[in-house]
Amino acid sequence: MNNVVELLPITSVYSLEAFENTPSNILSIGTQEKWKRGFYGKNVVIAVLDTGCETSHPDLKERIIDGYNFTEEHNGDISVYEDLNGHGTHVSGIMAGSINETGIVGVAPKADLLILKVLNKRGTGSSESLIEGINYAINWRGIKGEKVRVISLSLGLKSPNPKLHDAVKRAIENDICVVAASGNDGDGNMATNEYRYPGAYPEVISVGALKEENQLADFSNTHDLVDLYAPGVGIYSTSIKSGHTLLSGTSMAAPHIAGSIALLIEEYTYLFNIRPTEEEIYKFLMGHTSEIQFEDGNRIKMIDLTESVNIRKRNSLLSASKNKDMLLKCFCEARRTQAFFTKCLDENSSEEEREFILELIQNSASTSEKIKEFCQNG
């Protein structure tokens, strides 16, 4: 049983005839603030490891860049990664439903989705397939050299798996953000801990679920390694047979964060003109949160992409970026000065001259170390 990967239990399923193009849960996290500034997750590839995806769905067909089937379904044809369950299609819509004047819009409506089918129509699969899927995402390259920047995992194992943990760490080392649902085994009490893996690994961005009015969803797993929370109750998104439905679970919360990261990667790249590391994106993400304090005194962080929350953080990051070249020049100059003073030491120097030069060497060395420390801490 320990090697069985499974979908996190869905707490409720509904059907609706019609719905607004942009569901309230998508708007509630501040996505429109990013959209207004032109950030839609364009050219950011998210690997969705789930039950597959309905590739012909009107809201998703333009978002799917590639895929692979790791299950025995579709006669084991690796090129057929259609969804026979609906779960993978639902989370994909939350992440990246297209802006097409119909259906729904996702958090990052111009992101690209790499669909990796690791679970079957019953919502189960092997840990080996999950590990293979993560490694595939790490090594995947698009026809234009695209690389995966985010891995989304709305699934979980009941027990830790060292090989799965190693695969997650390899993804992080390759500057891929790994986002996972925390699990739906909660009891509504934040004092008790419930774990699902990989969501409980420290390297993973673990996501819990909120219900209406930013209250903790009773089913959401809670523990110290849950990084932040997002909407996870009554989430309206894409479904199979070109449909739409409402589902609840931390499975629905996690893609809100995966999509948000796609927006932030595009924004970070635009602001700083560099390819951000996983660590930089995580810091940027956590700068886009607000705090919720409950009546019992417990506090959690929820995703909040609004302008007002992040303007100070963003300005600080931008200022640091502009000063980076100057600080580097100062560091190099201090090092060169240190080397020059060292060369000035001479066997023929008097004791007084040697003491004076040694003091200069120590001062320049101290200056360069302070610059280095400042840059590392920043």
Q: Classify the C-alpha dihedral 233-237-240-246 as positive or negative.
A: positive
Phi and psi torsions of 24, nearest 5°: -60, -35
The yes-or-no answer on residue 87 being catalytic is: yes
Write down the residue that tokens 């302008």 correspond to.
307
Active-site residue (options: 251, 260, 364, 368): 251
Long-range contacts from 290-294, C-beta under 8 angstroms, 24+ separation:
292/214, 292/229, 294/190, 294/215, 294/216
CB atoms within 10 A of CB 296: 8
The verdict on whether 50 is a catalytic residue reads yes
The CA–CA distances, whole Å, from 331 to 44, 280, 378 equal 34, 22, 15
Find the helix or strand (DSSP H, E) in which 254 lies: helix 250-272
Residues in the chain: 378
Of these residues, 57, 87, 165, 223, which one is catalytic? 87
Helix extents (H) in 65-112 = 87-96
> Which residue, among 264, 151, 136, 148, has the nearest Cα to 203 in the 3D structure?
151
Question: SS3 of 212, please?
Answer: helix
CA distance 211 to 231: 6
**Catalytic: 251?**
yes
Task: Give the catalytic positions in this structure.
Answer: 50, 87, 251
